[in-house]
Amino acid sequence: MKKMIPVITAIVLIFVVIAISAGIKFADKYSYSNEKKDLNEYFSIESTDEVPIVLQDELTEESAKLLDGVYYLDLGTVHKYFNDRFYEDKNEALLLITLPQETIRNEIGSKEYSTADGAVSEEYVISRYEGDTLYIAIDYVKKYANFSYEAFTDPNRMQIYTKWEEYKTAQLTKDTSVRYQGGVKSPILTDVAKGDKVTVIEEMEKWSKVKTSDAFIGYVENKQLTNYGTESPIPVADYEEPVYTSILKPYKINLAWHAVAGVAGNDTLASVLEGTKGINTISPTWFALSDNEGNFTNFASKDYVTNAHNRGIEVWALIDNFTNKETVDTYEVLSYTSKRTYLIENLINAVLEYDLDGINVDFEEISQDAGEHFIQFIRELSVACRANGIVLSVDNYVPTGYTDHYDRREQGIVADYVVIMGYDEYYKGSSEAGSVASIDFVENGIKKTVEQVPPEKVINAVPFYTRIWETKGAELTSQAVGMELAEEFVQNHNIETRWDEVTCQNYGEIQEGDSFYQIWLEDEQSLEVKLNIMQKYNIAGVAEWKLGFEKSSVWDVIEKYLNQ
């Protein structure tokens, strides 16, 4: 027996060691870690002035800045989350925001802003540059957007709410820790006390994702939560969303563009209107930007306006940016507040001088970087038009991803009418021949536009022209002609046309020697199909480019549409 004692002792010791080892492993696996999470890493803080933003219940990629004791948001963040009407003029160091009746102006770096009623001073610098980035004081942003914010320190962070939806809450049953992830080994973000209330973002089997009252988002065990409930916050309503009034006619618009290349062109009004039916609006091409200072050429005529009014026709004079494109840089004109102001003042003066009813803005080939300046011009012009009872209409290409910077949605708010130039599907520079305006192209343009603009503000323009395409070897050329010349070409070349169901146009082609001719005709039939689509979407009306290119018979089709 004595000989067995050492053996038994050894066995016991082995079991003890095994038990201790197992216990250590068990404790290591199931005990709670005391490791602290690096909060600068958690919040992605890279500088002492950086203030991470928790928006609703998510940590955003964007951060605020704490500068001289004032919280600031960069312009991109302001546009994304709060109000995209803030506008930066880098040339003249101005921060603007345009409302229905006025434009509020702040000189970047100052504490003052000016309104129609005079200057107002704040206790903080309203806007300032840090490097090339413009920052706006968050309290100034709050003047033009409804949101709440609360700032915290150690580390700096900010909780912002822009929505006030019902949310789920719970209380802590004991003092515990909020961890970076679900699991006892996950590092600690912050400690919470018994009775503290948290927002429950997501419930899982053993852990819940929660947010503390001081904007830490992490995980606690479900067994530590009790007294579940819901709360409905009181919405912030300090800022009253502006109402943009519009002039909407109580009839379908039938707008015909009248190409006037000089003062003498005004004498053709009677002849181009002869035989027409249903025209209630005419847009003479009177104004065109002429330099980079905001000046424009002017072919306006009081007699023209009087004659149009006597026929019951309103005059919405057109201004374009391409007639003098060799001498005009649209970006240069629109990116300066002083030049936009000068242009608008002179436009309004011309409208009042000639007793015009409206302005039709036809700015084409706007570059991506000029988009923000273009829409600011439309905002500011809308203020002047609204003040003077002038209709503002804006011409647009058929929507594509390449023209999103025209901001049709904003146009649909601040302007009275948004006009789709529903043609040039295939144009002079196209690499292949095709229709000027196939039915799918037209319907797609209307459909995409009314997704952004109220249909009662949308006018679709149809072409009174077609293109005669000639392919000769590897060379493709085309010429735009009116309806009668197109039909004469078909007859003179003995081209047999057939109705094409894909484009909803009469199509013809012929090989003559080395030349292959193709033509998709615009005529009564093609226009009727387009007008039926316009009726389907219940839009505001039709426009035509251009007077003098049509056959007289198309007016019966258009008049039928107007009377539907």
> Model confidence over 78-103: pLDDT tens digits?
999 999 999 999 999 999 999 999 99
In 3D space, the residue among 545, 495, 541, 546 whose CA is nearest the CA of residue 521 turns out to be 495
Decide: 383 and 416 in contact? Cβ < 8 Å.
no
Q: pLDDT tens-digit profile of 159-186?
A: 999 999 999 999 999 999 999 999 999 9
Residue 240 lies in a domain: no
Structure tokens at 238: 């300090």
Give SS3 for 133.
strand
Residues 91 and 183 in one domain: no
Residues 267 and 306 in one domain: yes
Q: Say what the pLDDT of residue 53 is.
A: 98
Q: pLDDT tens-digit profile of 273-325?
A: 999 999 999 999 999 999 999 999 999 999 999 999 999 999 999 999 999 99
Residue 11 lies in a domain: no
Domains of the chain: total:
3
Residues 88 and 220 in one domain: no
Q: pLDDT tens-digit profile of 368-382?
A: 999 999 999 999 999
Q: Say what the pLDDT of residue 30 is.
A: 62
506 pLDDT above the threshold of 50: yes
Confidence label for 31 from pLDDT (cuts 50, 70 and 90):
confident
Structure tokens at 122: 């704040």
Residues 135 and 268 in one domain: no
Q: Say what the pLDDT of residue 26 is.
A: 47
CATH code of the domain covering residue 418: 3.20.20.80
Share of the chain above pLDDT 90, in %: 94
Residue range 58-64: mean pLDDT, rounded: 98
Residues 325 and 290 in one domain: yes
Where do runs of H (alpha helix) occur along 31-141?
39-42, 75-81, 138-141
What are the beta bridge partners of residue 407?
A: none
Residue 145 lies in a domain: yes
Residues 84 and 218 in one domain: no
> What are the two backbone dihedrals, phi and then psi, of residue 56, each rounded to the nearest 5 degrees?
55, -110
Q: pLDDT tens-digit profile of 530-554?
A: 999 999 999 999 999 999 999 999 9
Last residue within a domain, chosen from 175, 198, 231:
231
Residues 126 and 184 in one domain: no
Residue 194 lies in a domain: yes
Residues 63 and 212 in one domain: no
Range of the domain at 76: 42-152
Q: pLDDT tens-digit profile of 248-259?
A: 999 999 999 999
Residue range 217-243: mean pLDDT, rounded: 96
Residue range 120-135: mean pLDDT, rounded: 98
25 pLDDT above the threshold of 70: no
DSSP string, 214-261: TS-EEEEEGGGEEEEEEE-PPPP--SPPP-------SS-EEEEEE---
Cα separation, 53 vs 58, whole angstroms: 8
Residue 479 lies in a domain: no
Residue 159 lies in a domain: no
Residues 126 and 191 in one domain: no
CATH code of the domain covering residue 77: 3.30.457.10
Residues 436 and 335 in one domain: yes
Last residue within a domain, chosen from 198, 231, 264:
231
Confidence label for 403 from pLDDT (cuts 50, 70 and 90):
very high
Residue 134 lies in a domain: yes
Give SS3 for 412.
helix
User: CA 13 → CA 24, 51, 57, distances in Å?
Assistant: 16, 58, 54
Residue range 427-448: mean pLDDT, rounded: 97
> What are the two backbone dihedrals, phi and then psi, of residue 182, each rounded to the nearest 5 degrees?
-75, 120
Residue 486 lies in a domain: no
Q: Are strands 58-67 and 50-55 parallel, antiparallel or unpaired?
A: antiparallel
> What are the two backbone dihedrals, phi and then psi, of residue 12, each rounded to the nearest 5 degrees?
-60, -45
Residues 362 and 408 in one domain: yes
Residue range 461-486: mean pLDDT, rounded: 98
CATH code of the domain covering residue 181: 2.30.30.40
Is 20 or 467 the better-scoring residue by pLDDT? 467
Written as one letter, the residue type at 153 is T
Cα separation, 211 vs 55, whole angstroms: 12
Residues 298 and 420 in one domain: yes
261 pLDDT above the threshold of 90: yes
Decide: 398 and 366 in contact? Cβ < 8 Å.
no
Last residue within a domain, chosen from 174, 197, 231:
231
